[in-house]
A = this chain, B = another copy of it.
Amino acid sequence: MNAIEFDRLRARLAHPGSLVTDPKRFEPYTHDATEFRRPPAAVLLAEDKADVIETVRFCREASIPITPRGTGTGLSGGCVPSEGALVVSTEPMDSLKIRAAERLAVCGPGVITKTLQDEAARYGLTYPPDPASYAECTLAGNVAEGAGGLRCKRFGVTKDYILGLEAVTADGLLLKTGCLNDYRGFSIGDLLVASEGTLAIVTSIVVRLTDLPGVGHTILAAFDDPGHAARTVAAITGSGMIPTVLEYVDGETVELANRYEKTEGLDRAEAVILVETSDRDPDVQAAEVDRICREHSCSYLRTASDVRDAEKLWQIRRNVSKAITDAAGARVSEDVAVPNSGFPALVEFVAAMNRAEPFKICCFGHAGDGNLHVNLLAEEAGEEALERLEPAVERLMEKTLELGGTLSGEHGIGLAKRKYLAREFDAATLGAMLAIKETLDPGDLFNPEKLFDRTP
């Protein structure tokens, strides 16, 4: 884009000041939370849907691709600018209306997930999906990537709470789907969830709220062997109970987290699991978890005495992300997920890979959902360092698919995993996806290069 084009677009906007064309202001829009970096052609800090529509129409006429984004907490490169792309950030569109009597909220795309949860809590309601970045990430980002979170096995993921979406199509038209717990015709809204900004730009989101879950018991158990911990997870998920949260943290991660902030009793743990039982018969469930942990030779076991004590047990889990980031120059953060019964095999595969590779691999994740965040750490920063980790990533992907799993539980495919997408799906399914992309965005206007690897 050149100065003349900038001026032509600016002239069409209701908020001309929202178009950022000074490269000195581009840095925050060059990346997400991965190592991928690319400068945008310009950035629209969209104030309203009318400006999004005008920008889409302009870009379509001028053949300039668009990459939509929120606060950039993503972990797959999904909102890193496509080559030559104008970035449309919907972060400023953060209006929020709770309609408590309808158990729903009408949210601007830029609403922060935690803000929605806090506001809903004032009415005794909640929005259950809780990605780790919930205090910073936007709802439209959650929708784009199909975000999950700690409580997803019990309460479901983003798509389970989206009632309706308003979005701008590649034709520059406003599309509006759903408003109730029902869709008619084809579920265009469900199709947009997890489409990673490749089909439309979301301008409004109606989410279903539900009542606040009751509090269960929190239990921490440490093990001398990651295999014992993983089999404990499988025994709990196979036991008939569905904990509200069931997290796994491996020994490498525990060590990093202990360096960051020391947690009592975990000095030499080779793996830790953290459980919050559901609020249905919590005493019975806690006793059952306790029994299963002992049966699997746990080396340390503690049930929180109350909510404040539970907070202390969660400390290690909360420190995980910062501890890993501090420890590495660069990291690849994979979020493979497998059926529950395959979880021990996945954990043991990663432990063996860690022993064999020259770089450190540490992992943690929403074990109750079969989701394992595998972090491969490089000492230096940058995209090149990541390339050296790629053969290990590929083996991880192959193992995951062999176990009947998925490349990404919640981070999305983006740039990071697009070369593996065709391995997860058969030709008919992938063909249907590509046909839909071609139909709804024939000019490849929205977020080209992402999700699908279409290099010949």
Contacts and interface: CB of A to CB of B under 8 A. Distances in A.
Interface of A: 99-104, 123-125, 146, 148, 152-154, 156-157, 159-160, 169, 171, 173-188, 190-191, 193-195, 199, 210-211, 214, 234, 237-238, 240-242, 278-280, 337-341, 369-370, 404-410, 412-413, 421, 424-433, 435-440, 451-452
A327 B187 CA distance: 36
16 contacts: A123-B240, A169-B428, A174-B426, A176-B425, A179-B405, A180-B369, A180-B406, A182-B406, A182-B408, A184-B408, A186-B194, A188-B433, A191-B191, A279-B280, A432-B440, A436-B436
Contact of A148 (B148, B178, B182): B182
Contact of A185 (B175, B405, B425): B425
Those 8 A-B pairs whose CB atoms lie nearest each other, nearest first: A190-B190, A101-B238, A173-B428, A175-B428, A439-B439, A124-B240, A186-B433, A175-B429
A41 B260 CA distance: 72
B194 A187 contact: yes
B187 A183 contact: no
Nearest to A237: B101
Contact of A211 (B159, B278, B369, B429): B278
Given A237-B101, A242-B210, A337 B124 contact: no
Contacts of A177: 425, 429
Contacts of A186: 191, 194-195, 199, 432-433, 436-437
A193 B184 CA distance: 10
Contacts of A159: 183, 187, 190
Please state the number of chain copies in the assembly. Answer: 2
Contacts of A278: 211
A180 B424 contact: no
Contacts of A100: 238, 240
A104 to B, nearest CB: 8
B185 A413 contact: yes
A185 B433 contact: yes
A176 B99 CA distance: 37
Given A175-B432, A185-B451, 17 more contacts: A102-B237, A146-B183, A148-B182, A156-B160, A171-B428, A176-B425, A176-B428, A181-B337, A182-B406, A184-B406, A184-B424, A185-B413, A185-B430, A186-B436, A187-B195, A191-B191, A432-B440
A369 B181 contact: yes
Given A169-B428, A185-B421, A435-B440, A180 B339 contact: yes
A369 B370 CA distance: 32
